Amino acid sequence: MDTSRLKSIPLFASLSEKELKQVAKLADEVDVAAGQHLVDEGRFAHEFFVIEDGEAEVEHDGQSVATLGPGDFFGEVALIRTDRRTASVVAKTPMQLIVVFGPNFRAMASDMPSVHEKINDAIEERCKDM
C-alpha cells in the first residue's frame, strides 16, 4: 500500500513516514461492490474499516442513521468496547476500503497516539446514544 495515499486520509494525516509504513504493513486494501454488507449489527467484530473511495449507509435498529464517505471509518466501537457490531454498514456505491483486522487494529491504536485519540473521540461520539 502506498503511504502517500494513507497520508491523504485524515485519520492517518499526522503520522510520521515510519508510522505510515507500519500502517501499510498492518492493513489490506479491499474493493467492494454496491449493496455489499460490510458489517451486520449484532455480529462479532473482526475488523476496522477506513473508506478510501465510495459511500456507505449506516443503519441501527433498521433505521438509517448516517452516510459515510472518503476519510470516514467504522468498526472501532465493537473492536474496543462491545465485541459485537452496534450497527450495520452497507456499501451504497462501489467502494475502496482499507481494512485492519482486530489484533493489528489494537496494535495500531495503542502504538500511534494521534490515531488512538481520533478513534477514541469517534467512539465517544458514536456511543452517546447507546
pLDDT beyond 90 at 12: no
Element (H, E) at 106: helix 102-111
**Rounded mean pLDDT, 51-73:** 95
**Rounded mean pLDDT, 79-107:** 88
pLDDT category at 98 given cuts 50, 70, 90 is very high
What's residue 13's pLDDT? 86
Structural domains in the chain plus CATH codes: 27-126 (2.60.120.10)
**Rounded mean pLDDT of the chain?**
87
**Rounded mean pLDDT, 107-114:** 80
Give the per-residue SS3 of 3-36: HHHHHCCHHHCCCCHHHHHHHHHHEEEEEECCCC
The predicted-structure confidence for 21-48, as pLDDT tens digits, reads as follows: 999 998 999 999 999 999 999 998 889 9
Per-residue cell: 5: 495515499
Per-residue cell: 120: 477514541
Specify the pTM: 0.86
